[in-house]
Amino acid sequence: MVCLWLTGCAVQHKQLTYQVVPAAETPSAEETAYGHRVYLSLREDYPVDADSDRLGLLKDTFDHLAGAAGIDPEDWQLHLLYAPDIADVRSVEGNYLFVWSGLFDIVRNEDELAGLLACEIAHVLAGHTEPVRFTPASELLFGLTDAAATIGLMILTQGALNVSGTGMTRWAYVEAADLDPVDRVYTAGQLEEMAMIATLILEASHYTTEGLLDFWRRAGSPELPLQQLERLVRELPPDERLAILEAVVLPVAAGREADNAATDDALQTVDSGEKDSI
């Protein structure tokens, strides 16, 4: 019952609809420090990848996407981590974006790489990387649970063990619900918001949205087996992720084609009229 109550009231989500790419905000000193702590933690497990070709491609792709999104690349920290067996890209608060080098072995072209990067940029712009905020009711429950756990341990150990302090239950919930900064699993609503923003960014760039869809169409196939995508999938089956992306991307693409066709028809009408007048 407690877990069900927490699921209903613990986390506050904002549901937004995007018609334009949301304005970027320069991260605060506190947010930047948070991202840097995550970076230092990752560096304990993964060295920085110094491959100039991969770094150059990654930076060029990100810089172009940044221009399309209207964000300043100088406000972002882009890090390539050496891990040939890990294909992943993650973003955290403070405008930190991490790419594991194995990603370059599974993308077929720059469009696919740009699509995956655009998704992470979109998560940041939508505020999905902000630390989880709990309701006052859940904070109260966390405090009561911490107190009960402390008393229970004292009774069971007859006073030999006394663990005190706050935050134990909150930490356990965040870990169990995959809400920690690097391993966060996004909700369906957040994925839809991300897909819309990423689509807008890609549409404003010279990359195609088809690259993003092609990547996830291949995911799970013999060409891209799931074990190779374990980190990138984030517990959401590729077909479900693809369905969310297609539901957003395809109508936008269809609308663009209709607009282009209408423009072509208008130009042909003008040309025909000019010829008739001559």
Reported as a pLDDT band with limits 50, 70 and 90, residue 172 is very low
Question: Is the pLDDT confidence value at 170 over 90?
Answer: no
Same domain, yes or no: 28 and 163: no
C-alpha 115 chain-centroid distance: 11
Same domain, yes or no: 189 and 171: no
Same domain, yes or no: 81 and 100: yes
- Whether 277 maps to a domain, the answer reads no
Which residue do the tokens 């208008």 mark? 266
Same domain, yes or no: 260 and 209: yes
- Chosen domain end from 121, 153, 176: 176
- Whether 211 maps to a domain, the answer reads yes
Q: Do the strands 96-101 and 77-81 form a parallel or antiparallel pair, or are they unpaired? A: parallel
Same domain, yes or no: 27 and 165: no
Number of domains forming the structure of the chain = 2
Question: Is the pLDDT confidence value at 162 over 70?
Answer: no
The predicted structure's pLDDT at residue 4 = 37
The Cα 115–Cα 199 span in angstroms is 9
The predicted structure's pLDDT at residue 185 = 80
Domain that holds residue 158: 136-176
What does pTM read for this prediction?
A: 0.75
The predicted structure's pLDDT at residue 235 = 80
Same domain, yes or no: 35 and 75: yes
Same domain, yes or no: 82 and 167: no
pLDDT digits over 188-243, tens only?
Answer: 899 999 999 999 999 999 999 999 999 999 998 898 988 889 889 988 899 999 99
Q: Max CA-CA distance within the chain?
A: 103
Across the range 83-87, mean pLDDT stands at: 94
Nearest to 91 by CA among 199, 171, 181: 181
Same domain, yes or no: 91 and 156: no
- Chosen domain end from 124, 150, 176: 176
Helix axes 188-203, 238-277, angle to 10 degrees: 30
- Whether 273 maps to a domain, the answer reads no
Across the range 110-121, mean pLDDT stands at: 98
Which residues make beta-bridge pairs with 87?
A: 101
Same domain, yes or no: 157 and 27: no
